[in-house]
């Protein structure tokens, strides 16, 4: 079968591998769609933590269930996706119902080879029913689940102001599910095109470009002087992460969804006097995936609005680097097989 490998930062190579042979407790999927994630882009750049090369990328996937073992309720030929975070099942996190931050986690396409391939094998426990959704929609469930998990970590309440820093695909998902939770969403980004996308497609009333206006002043205007009670970073940019500490209201929660390699530092007195809460948000749980699928089925989320670029699998190598450039205008690139 055809496979695309990121041999080293900046270099992809197509190759051949044997088609997987079914193992006990696993399932084989014929891949139909691959969504390109920020993790994939960062891996290509060489800026992704927890990463080694060579690596087959890809974890936003959907396809056709070819065969399986120990997957009650599934049928051959069914349209499926899966949860691409493979847990050990025995560590303290797994025992406490937090497989998304398993101490020995293997994230598909990060720690182990991913889905830039015609067929793949995954643990049967990770399978997700298609629920009548299209291949495109199912391939977008995972990135939206990341956003839904971050919003759940923040415990967003109806009516409160939620500042989402970063309007990439993950930030857009955070904005969507913060809105669904009843939050008054504000999106901050240095890309005006993405801010306009939020207003036009996600019903986000407030967009701030900190390169063009005084962000603090604008936030005070929007929140009637209170500042946001929830701040969620989706940039993975150290400067943006550190800068956003000043945007928190007293009693605010700050959730780091974006990931970067450096240190996080802040003024303890400023943080302390707010009795602020700082937390990370890693991956997502089955509960988040099911919430996303249900939201899609109810029409609360239209995943098709995210897809701006399409290529066939054999065109990925020639197009991938262009998706790193802001002028390309990529929100979500979708690969078809």
Q: What gap in Å lies between CA 265 and CA 227, rounded to an integer?
A: 21
Does position 260 have pLDDT exceeding 90, yes or no?
no
Q: How far is CA 180 from the centre of its chain?
A: 17
Phi-psi region of 132 (alpha: psi -120 to 50; beta: other; left: phi over 0): left
Name the pLDDT band for 51 (thresholds 50, 70, 90): confident
pTM: 0.94
Q: For the chain, what's the residue count? A: 337
Which of 150, 157, 156 lies closest to 171, judged by CA? 150
Q: What gap in Å lies between CA 149 and CA 167, rounded to an integer?
A: 17
Which of 57-66, 94-103, 260-269 has the least mean pLDDT?
260-269
Q: Which CATH superfamily is domain 147-280 in?
A: NAD(P)-binding Rossmann-like Domain (3.40.50.720)
Name the pLDDT band for 126 (thresholds 50, 70, 90): very high
Mean pLDDT across the stretch 115-122?
97
Q: Which helix (H) or strand (E) holds 151?
A: helix 141-154
Name the pLDDT band for 58 (thresholds 50, 70, 90): very high
Q: What percent of the chain has pLDDT over 70?
A: 100
Mean pLDDT across the stretch 26-37?
97
Name the pLDDT band for 261 (thresholds 50, 70, 90): confident
Residues of the chain with CATH 3.90.180.10: 2-139+302-336
pLDDT 10s digits, 281-333: 999 999 999 999 999 999 999 888 899 999 999 999 999 999 998 888 899 99
Mean pLDDT across the stretch 105-134?
95
pLDDT 10s digits, 192-245: 999 999 999 999 999 999 999 999 999 999 999 999 999 999 998 999 999 999
- Residue 134 burial (CB count, 10 A): 16
Class of domain 2-139+302-336: alpha beta
Name the pLDDT band for 49 (thresholds 50, 70, 90): confident
Q: What is the 3-state secondary structure (H, E, C) of 296-310?
A: HHCCCCCHHHHEEEE
Residues of the chain with CATH 3.40.50.720: 147-280
Q: What gap in Å lies between CA 154 and CA 197, rounded to an integer?
A: 24
Going through 166-300 in order, the beta strands assigned E by DSSP cover: 184-188, 206-208, 230-233, 253-256, 277-280
CB contact at 8 A, 4 and 116? yes
Pairing of strands 206-208, 184-188: parallel
Does position 52 have pLDDT exceeding 90, yes or no?
no
Q: What gap in Å lies between CA 15 and CA 3, rounded to an integer?
A: 5
């Amino acid at each position: 079968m055809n496979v695309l490998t990121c041999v080293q930062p900046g270099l992809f190579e197509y190759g051949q591998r044997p088609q997987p042979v079914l193992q006990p407790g696993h399932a084989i999927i014929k891949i139909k769609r691959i969504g390109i994630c920020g993790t994939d882009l960062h891996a290509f750049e060489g800026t992704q933590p927890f990463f080694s090369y060579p690596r087959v990328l890809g974890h936003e996937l959907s396809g056709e269930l070819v065969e399986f073992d120990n997957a009650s309720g599934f049928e051959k030929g069914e349209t499926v996706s899966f949860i691409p975070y493979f847990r050990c099942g025995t560590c303290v996190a797994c025992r406490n119902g937090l497989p998304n931050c398993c101490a020995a986690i293997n994230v598909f396409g990060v720690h182990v080879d991913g889905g830039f391939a015609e067929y793949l094998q995954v643990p049967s426990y990770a399978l997700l029913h298609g629920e009548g959704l299209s291949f495109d929609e199912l391939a977008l469930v995972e990135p939206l689940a990341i956003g839904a998990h971050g919003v759940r970590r923040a415990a967003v309440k109806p009516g409160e102001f939620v500042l989402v820093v970063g309007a990439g695909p993950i930030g857009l998902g955070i904005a969507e599910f913060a809105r669904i939770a009843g939050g008054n969403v504000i999106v901050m980004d240095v890309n005006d095109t993405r801010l306009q996308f939020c207003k036009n497609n996600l019903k986000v009333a407030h967009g701030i470009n900190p390169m063009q206006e005084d962000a603090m002043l604008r936030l005070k205007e929007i929140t009637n002087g209170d500042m946001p009670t929830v701040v969620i970073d989706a940039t993975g940019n150290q400067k943006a992460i550190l800068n956003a500490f000043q945007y928190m209201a007293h009693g605010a929660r700050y959730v780091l969804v974006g990931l970067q390699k450096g240190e996080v530092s802040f003024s303890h007195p400023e943080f302390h006097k707010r009795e602020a809460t700082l937390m990370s948000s890693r991956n997502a749980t089955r509960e988040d995936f099911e919430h996303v699928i249900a939201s899609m089925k109810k029409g609360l989320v239209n995943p098709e609005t995210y897809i701006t670029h399409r290529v066939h699998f054999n065109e990925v190598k020639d197009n991938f680097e262009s998706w790193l450039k802001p002028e390309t205008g990529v929100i979500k690139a979708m690969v078809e097989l």
